[in-house]
Structure 1
Amino acid sequence: MRIRPARPSDLAELDALFARSYPRLLKADYPPSLLVTAVPMIARAQPRLLASGTYYVAELDGAIRGAGGWTPSDRPGRLGQRADVRHVVTCDSTLRRGIGRALLLHSFAEARAAGRRWMHCVSTLTAEPFYAALGFRRIGNTVVPLAPGIDFPAVEMWRPL
């Protein structure tokens, strides 16, 4: 597996990864009526994030099998400089092979090297156990407003770096 910074040219491959994986991974924790409206909004790579230098892809067997990263936050916190986890996904056919963990461990190290002291995450209900296994602590339930009338239940979490 190779972790590298994402590039704008990865957009199409990442869009396909999000569109394929999110519906399959989230279906156990969200009702179909929500997924049919929410997935088209969340299953798109963000061009600005791909060009940020702090968003990464994991390549395995010649293809992108995961993505995720972090961005610095200007929001003050009692723990010091904050970083935010950004748009993590793992290919549904390669789950439990350490791809998501490798992406986040890389992100932790890079954020720490950039002077960040803690990481904030808004997790899907599905991914909460994954983030907890990486040392994140639950703050509480939250809702991500995707569009008028479309609220996506999530879990707010944090961990020191």
Structure 2
Amino acid sequence: MTARSAERTAFEVRPARPSDLARLDALFARAYPRLLKADYPPSILVTAVPLLARAQPRLLASGTYYVAETGEGRLVAAGGWSRRRDGRGEVRHVVTDDRLVRQGLGRAVLTRVLDAAALSGIDEMRCLSTRTAVPFYASLGFEEVGPVDMPLAPGITFPAVAMRRRM
């Protein structure tokens, strides 16, 4: 099925499990380069994106990271949140299958994230968005704070956009 298909993908949002690691790695590795291609130069796609496109085992085990899974067991979106030291929430490592964008998958995962954070007493969420995802986050009530360079490794940074949302 393509993103232009009139038929929606059936899915369930559930907490991630450590056993989801390999399938999430595959989703990140396939989706990030394709989704970010229009907004980042090849040098960023070659150096920074491979560092970003990896699932984080600690995050998967946190209980605050969620996946959208089809009835066939395919992971098609993911995202989560963490509590920051300042008491605010931070959106973490969001991805949607590049072949299934604009079908409500990312929105369903982020709605689950925002609801869980609110239930935990978070009154403000922050995120470091890719340039590509700024309109998506804005549609969920986030506002731009400004551009940031996210350090990934010595000599490698990723240009992102800091955003925030009152809960």
For Structure 1 versus Structure 2, the TM-score category normalised by the shorter chain is over 0.9
**Distance in structure 1 (CA, Å) of the matches to 2:152 and 2:61:** 23
Deviations 1:65-106 (A, max 9, x none): 00001011112xxxxx31000000000011000000001111
Counterpart among 132, 141, 145 of residue 151 in structure 2: 145
Aligned position for 2:18: 8
* Structure 2 unmatched runs, 5+: 1-10
**SS of match in other structure, 1:93:** coil
- Given the alignment of the two structures, is residue 64 of structure 1 paired with residue 75 of structure 2, yes or no? yes
Aligned position for 1:22: 32
**Distance in structure 1 (CA, Å) of the matches to 2:136 and 2:71:** 24
**SS of match in other structure, 1:92:** coil
Give me the CA root mean square deviation: 0.8
* Structure 1 unmatched runs, 5+: 76-80
Amino acid at match of 2:22: A
**Distance in structure 2 (CA, Å) of the matches to 1:24 and 1:148:** 25
TM-score, reference length from structure 2: 0.91
Amino acid at match of 1:130: F
> Aligned runs of 1:1-161 on 2, under 5 Å?
1-62=11-72, 63-75=74-86, 81-161=87-167
Cα deviation, residue 147, structure 1:
1.3
Aligned position for 1:78: none
Identity of aligned residues (%): 62
Count of residues paired in the alignment: 156
Deviations 1:37-64 (A, max 9, x none): 1121000000000000000000124211
**SS of match in other structure, 2:135:** helix
Aligned position for 2:7: none
